[in-house]
Structure 1
Amino acid sequence: MTFNGKARWLMMNMNVFRMPEWYPKLYKDCFQTVFIELDSPELEALKQGETDGETVKAFLPELHRVMSNFSGAKFFSVDTVAPTDTERFREKRGAVHSASSAWKVLASSEKVRSAAEAGLVSSICIRPFRRMQPAREFRLFIKNSKLAGMSQYWLTRHFRRLPARLEHYWESASALVERISGDLPVPDLALDIYFKKTGEILIIDLNPWGEPTDPLMYNTWERDWSAPGRCEIVPPPHQVSGDVDVRF
């Protein structure tokens, strides 16, 4: 396969993971989201990282109008990526209040610009900002339309109350996958989810199977995914007991 042929294949393969493509079938299990389609001048401005200029100024009123569908802070992304690589995103956890701030954070993101250059951006995706609890975010590994594995999403630390909930979380996630499997774009993928306090599951994102998607607690994609799976989490800190003889 030539480089251009491989690039076209990759773009076609990634198209099914664009949020505007999969959201209409899965919206009942997702955060409510609205989309604003970008025209060629706006896409070019995004690729170039422009934060002002006539194109951006002309686009901001329409962005503000679409934002008004929701009150309070908003969360912004494009078809396949969010601007998680920006300082503003890390400081505010993705919360944005104005159209100008939203455009600036998207345009300053190398991830977003790279996706736009690769032809993987057609729209800006907007939903209400929700301050989510890291202990309730997970990545589901779906193989042949079945739940094959599950991992804690944020690997920052062990959450001591989490082990008691793992069996329930696994059963709930397995039931979700079985229910929505017919609406998933491909049989093998990684699905990011969030458990609400009520136990309801909300879908956050769909990711391709294999690299560059992070296998998180599974460490590698090179494993037997047909073996019975379970929910993998960060283990508790190792505690040393008894007499410890330290020598230098």
Structure 2
Amino acid sequence: MSGPGATSYAPEWLELREDADAAARSAELADLLLPSLEGPLVIRDLGCGTGSMGRWLAGRLPGPQRWILHDRDPGLLARAATGLSGTAPDGGSVMVVLEQGDITGLRATDLAGTSLVTASALLDLLTADEVAGLAAACAEAGCPALLALSVIGRVEFAPADPLDAEFAAAFDDHQRRDTGGRRLLGPDAVDAAATAFERYGAAVHRRSSPWRLGPEQAALTAQWLQGWVAAAAEQRPDLAPLADAYLRRRLDACAAAVLRVVIGHEDLLALPAGG
């Protein structure tokens, strides 16, 4: 969740979203993964952020487990180990190693001995070439990949507002923007990843993993709305004069506990050929 290049996120945002992420991720894909794993496990968590993927997944896997947490942000890495070390459900140990750096250049040699590559909310921050490179590295290393919570460009509001579709389309374009010479995949990431892994013979499984935000998640909804509207207005300057009033309507509905939002994500599991 702290991606390559200049993309990083405040730990407060990552902590605020952790419960929604945990509720959304596909437990079914985690179950499908289990037969392909043999212990002891070495798991690489790419763009680990504060470590929420590890905290969600470690309790679903047998031990012993050795988690290698990758992120470019040393502050996030320091937080990521918290709450992850300990024991697996079967009593096996769970250990953590921290590795700082850019994850976009990983090669098969870097994955030697790895049982599983995983990531959460990362694919949509990558380029097509970076996703292709990740698929190639996993295929050559014979390593499965569980890649969760990629945005798919689908947002549903209840009650609706006449400007919802305009801001949603602008946000999707912002997710596909060119930043520092890198054209991000944004909502196209899961399709691109599925194609890339299938090119190497992997069995690809996909599951919907939406956030479903209601009155109980008001703080998260409000924070998400502010970032979502700001990104849309940045992408489409013609929306900027409408943004404040639109955001105020949405925040007022959120504060009144009448707003519900479904934010589409998708999880992908790629099992290597012959695995």
Relative to total residues, which structure has the larger strand share, 1 or 2?
Answer: 2
Q: Same fold (TM over 0.5)?
A: no
**TM-score by structure 1 length?**
0.28
Relative to total residues, which structure has the larger helix share, 1 or 2?
Answer: 2
Larger radius of gyration: 1
